[in-house]
Amino acid sequence: MGPGASRSARARRSSGPGRRARLAGATVSHSKRREHRGKKLTQQLQSTSAGADIVDVLGKLHQGTIELFRHDPWLAFDLLGVERPVAGTPTPRQGEVEREDPEDPDKVIVRYPDLVLVHEVEVPKRGIVIGVEAQGAYQRIKRWRFPYYQAVLADSYELQTWMVFVSYCRRMSAAIRDWKVGPPPRIDGLLLDVDTVPRLSLEEMMRWPTAGVLVGALHGHAGDSEAAQNGVRACMGLPEKRRHSYIGTILAALSERERAAIEQELNMEEKHEIWQIEKNSGTYLRGCRHGLETGRQEGRQEGRQEGRRVTLVELIFALLDVRGVACEADSEARLRACEDIAVLERWADRAREVTDVSALFEDA
């Protein structure tokens, strides 16, 4: 066999079924590594309290942030004063760019942004693709994934492709700015964070609720309770389902202390609205995380009950603390020992008004 034949044989080996099988195996192995890193990141995020520099963006805050762009696809462009590149309204296409797991057809491997929005006109071919990513923690791996996301979407749709980054983490925001001007591949996209998104008045928020929620969440997370409070008020006139979802997104961006603080500035109707949202979900307080862990060990139902109980206890302490009501050791022990959810709910309602902790227990 001559040199030409040898080269031909090598070419066949490098491009035949064997190589495809090896590449497939490498892809699966790479997918498993990505999945393992993803699980570790999820655990890190879920172990961090709301309002810190790392937010549980895989929970309500993440879902709520992405929901805003589903409802208002041009939100980033309009907030930053960037001219809309095309006419029309992009719509969600996430399912089109997810891929089946080769090991399990019932699973999908997501190697794309949190949300993909597309507006496409076939003849002549024109439109836009917008990828949206919500970031609550610094992740260096995104240095390489962001350009990948953009390239894959551009290749898939053959349209101009924009990336939108919503960052609740100052370190991540700084990194994105550095990656925009550093060595290639460079990050190219619109950054929405507390420094780039302007504060809006209550009137502006009421006219533009999606912007009001994002402003309230971003600035509220950075400690601006007035922005968060106005965001909540701007949602009060919305239909119930959307109102609860939008207010829940703002609350999820705040610490317990900040949530309790803004409630002091709300009227009774607004306080009741927030109280109903808090009672129906433990995702905003560390009691939820405690309950989830308990649920794994003792059963889901018991875990949910324990999560609700701890949530209520911590809410009472936060309300008393922000209002300057002292809680002596015996009262604290009594609160922590209570296992009756109805009683805790009653005490939590009273914690918003009492001036002495003993008044919580008056009818006990």
55-90 residue pLDDT tens: 333 478 998 999 999 999 999 999 999 999 999 999
- Contact between 156 and 97 under an 8 Å Cβ cutoff? The reply is yes
Distance CA 351, CA 274 (A): 14
pLDDT band at 36 (very low <50, low <70, confident <90, very high): very low
pLDDT band at 275 (very low <50, low <70, confident <90, very high): low
221-250 residue pLDDT tens: 999 999 999 999 999 999 988 998 999 899
What is the dihedral sign for C-alpha 253, 203, 133, 177?
Answer: negative
Distance CA 364, CA 362 (A): 6
**pLDDT average, residue stretch 122-141:** 92
Closest CA to 217 of 172, 249, 190: 249
Determine the pLDDT at residue 130. 97
Closest CA to 34 of 137, 110, 105: 110
Structure tokens, 289: 């995380």
Distance CA 53, CA 345 (A): 30
Residue type, 84: R
Determine the pLDDT at residue 202. 96
Peptide bond just before 185 cis, omega within 30 deg:
yes
Strand, coil or helix: what is 320? helix
191-216 residue pLDDT tens: 999 999 999 999 999 999 999 999 99
Closest CA to 137 of 80, 111, 175, 110: 175
